[in-house]
Amino acid sequence: MNIIVNLDVVMAQRKIKSKDLAAQIGISEQNLSLLKSGKVKGVRFNTLAKICQVLECQPGDLLAFED
């Protein structure tokens, strides 16, 4: 069972760079990179909400469950 992070896909669709997204949501590029790669154990709802607001998407667009 895995949670797949599709943040990089949504960012590419919206044509936004990591540097710009990180600045708009208030996290470091390094932390955003870790989130994109799925190497984090969790994400704060506040951070997820900011990402969704900037990318104009839903949390389900960013995360998927794989059995």
As a 3-state breakdown, the chain gives helix, strand, coil percent values, each rounded to 5, of 60, 10, 30
User: Rounded to an integer, what is the distance from CA 20 to the centroid of its chain?
Assistant: 13
Q: Dmax of the chain from CA atoms?
A: 34
Phi, psi of 39 (to 5 degrees): -90, 10
Confidence of residue 1 (pLDDT cuts 50, 70, 90): confident
All domains of the chain in start order, with CATH: 2-58 (1.10.260.40)
Give the C-alpha separation, 59 to 45, whole Å: 10
pLDDT at 48: 97
What digits encode the pLDDT tens for the residues 27-57?
Answer: 999 999 999 999 999 999 999 999 999 999 9
